[in-house]
């Protein structure tokens, strides 16, 4: 399958997951294995995504393995330590109940903060260099038969493949066309996301302030800047985002504090609805779902993007192993291996983040006392803290090769 309208794998979606998967497959299998990525965003010369993401250590190893980390390293801020507080909004003092050192291994931070645009641009450049077919457009429909899947594009030019991958986000059209339902619920919460500049150095410290409405996270970026992920009830988030600049600043400062000196908003402010949703199946006939198309979790643990990259590592390894044996990369055995690998981990992370959100996002003094006692106990148990750090870094369970930094 080598002509322009016939490839081995079509990937719908050019976000982190879709581009990383395309690169991993091309690196693992070389020129005979052709891959196309379809996304309307590819019409733009550079990414316009203003957000930033926490890249866990295992995900960073994946990016190193596919050789896209070096171009973004200078724009990546290591998280050197993290503190957790629990208080009411108007409390004069926010005592630290839990503090984590930032290294998962000696000299290796458990996470880095990277602005999305830098990483997407590096992924696009690497994909082009490797000969991945990048097409600006959208997957509009598809039909499968025993040997291939015929994919319809918004451009009108169909393309056939042996596997279609849905990496097209939470509102995945590919998942919908495959008639794969999701189960889960909305939280009636939204995350307000923006970038803040401040007077003093953050020294690589991340902060998670648990407030009754939800967590308020201060995540360090390069320079004297931080990314804010601020959870509120959905209606309250809409109100806050719509405030005039001075009033928005007052609400922000009330939560951010003055420990980093004067602050000012230097990026767009947006509110994103939060929920927990998991696809009932991660696969279909000649179809696999990855990233947000397969699962959405609460950002309370900063694991959403990293879960998607775990999908990428598992699916890439399953496909590469099969193709090297001369097997069909879109065959049911390959896809079942991927689904078995990812379903349990995804469900457990969903349960964990849902439980944390319900425990911390409430006004109950009884629950606050109980969780503060729990945080205090964890603070006094170094072995348990190390376990949490390794979990957050992505090094627990059956870890695919790419997440260990190993080439396929």
Q: Dump pLDDT digits (tens) for 226-283.
A: 999 999 999 999 999 999 999 999 999 999 999 999 999 999 999 999 999 999 999 9
Specify the pLDDT at position 378: 64
- Spatial neighbors of 19 by CB under 8 A, at least 6 apart, are 37, 120, 123, 124, 126, 127, 132
Cα–Cα distance, 230 to 211 (Å, whole number):
10
Measured CA to CA in angstroms, residue 302 lies from 44, 103, 292, 296, 350 at distances of 28, 17, 14, 12, 12
Task: Average pLDDT across each block of 10 residues of the chain; the chain has 408 residues. List them in order.
Answer: 76 97 97 95 88 94 97 96 86 77 81 95 97 95 93 91 97 97 95 97 94 93 97 97 97 94 96 95 98 92 88 98 96 97 90 80 70 68 69 84 95
Specify the pLDDT at position 46: 87
Measured CA to CA in angstroms, residue 130 lies from 35, 70, 121, 126, 402 at distances of 10, 16, 14, 6, 18
Q: Which helix (DSSP H) or strand (DSSP E) does residue 250 occupy?
A: helix 245-256
Per residue in 90-115, pLDDT tens? 876 787 777 877 777 778 998 999 99
Specify the pLDDT at position 360: 74
Specify the pLDDT at position 66: 97
Measured CA to CA in angstroms, residue 111 lies from 10, 43, 118 at distances of 31, 31, 16
- Spatial neighbors of 170 by CB under 8 A, at least 6 apart, are 277, 292, 293, 296
**Contact indicator for 238, 271 with CB cutoff of 8 Å:** yes
Specify the pLDDT at position 349: 86
- Spatial neighbors of 314 by CB under 8 A, at least 6 apart, are 338, 341, 342, 400
């Amino acid at each position: 399958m080598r002509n322009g309208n016939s490839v081995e794998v079509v990937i719908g979606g050019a976000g982190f997951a879709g581009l990383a998967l395309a690169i991993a497959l091309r690196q693992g299998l070389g020129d005979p294995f052709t891959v196309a990525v379809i996304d309307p965003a590819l019409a733009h010369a550079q990414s316009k995504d203003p957000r930033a993401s926490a890249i866990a250590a295992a995900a960073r190893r994946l990016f190193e393995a596919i050789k896209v980390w070096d171009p973004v390293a200078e724009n990546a801020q290591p998280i050197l330590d993290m503190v957790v507080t629990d208080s009411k909004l108007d409390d004069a003092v926010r005592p630290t109940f839990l503090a984590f050192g930032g290294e998962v291994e000696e000299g290796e931070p458990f996470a880095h903060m990277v602005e999305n645009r830098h990483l997407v641009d590096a992924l696009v450049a690497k994909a082009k260099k490797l000969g991945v077919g990048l097409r600006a457009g959208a997957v509009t429909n598809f039909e499968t038969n025993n040997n291939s899947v015929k994919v319809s594009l918004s451009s009108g030019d169909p393309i056939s493949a042996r596997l279609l991958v849905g990496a097209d986000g939470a509102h995945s059209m590919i998942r919908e066309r495959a008639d794969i339902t999701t189960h889960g619920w909305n939280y009636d919460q939204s995350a307000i996301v923006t970038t803040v500049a401040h007077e003093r150095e953050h020294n690589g410290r991340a902060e998670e302030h648990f407030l009754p409405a939800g967590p308020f996270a201060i995540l360090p970026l390069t320079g004297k800047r931080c990314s804010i992920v601020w959870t509120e009830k959905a209606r309250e988030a809409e109100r806050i985002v719509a405030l005039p600049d001075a009033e928005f600043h007052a609400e922000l400062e009330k939560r951010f504090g003055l420990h980093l000196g004067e602050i000012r908003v230097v990026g767009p402010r947006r509110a994103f609805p939060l929920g927990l949703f998991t696809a009932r199946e991660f696969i279909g006939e000649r179809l696999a779902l990855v990233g947000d198309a397969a699962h959405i979790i609460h950002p309370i643990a900063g694991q959403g993007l990293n879960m998607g990259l775990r999908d990428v590592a598992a699916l890439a390894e399953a496909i590469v192993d099969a193709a090297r044996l001369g097997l069909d990369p879109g065959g049911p055995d390959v896809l079942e291996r991927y689904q078995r690998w990812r379903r349990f981990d995804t469900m457990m992370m969903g349960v964990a983040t849902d439980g944390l959100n319900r425990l911390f996002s409430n006004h109950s003094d009884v629950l606050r006392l109980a969780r503060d006692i729990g945080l205090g106990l964890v603070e006094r148990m170094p072995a348990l803290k190390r376990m949490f750090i390794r979990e957050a870094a992505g090094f627990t369970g059956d870890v695919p090769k790419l997440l260990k930094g190993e080439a396929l």
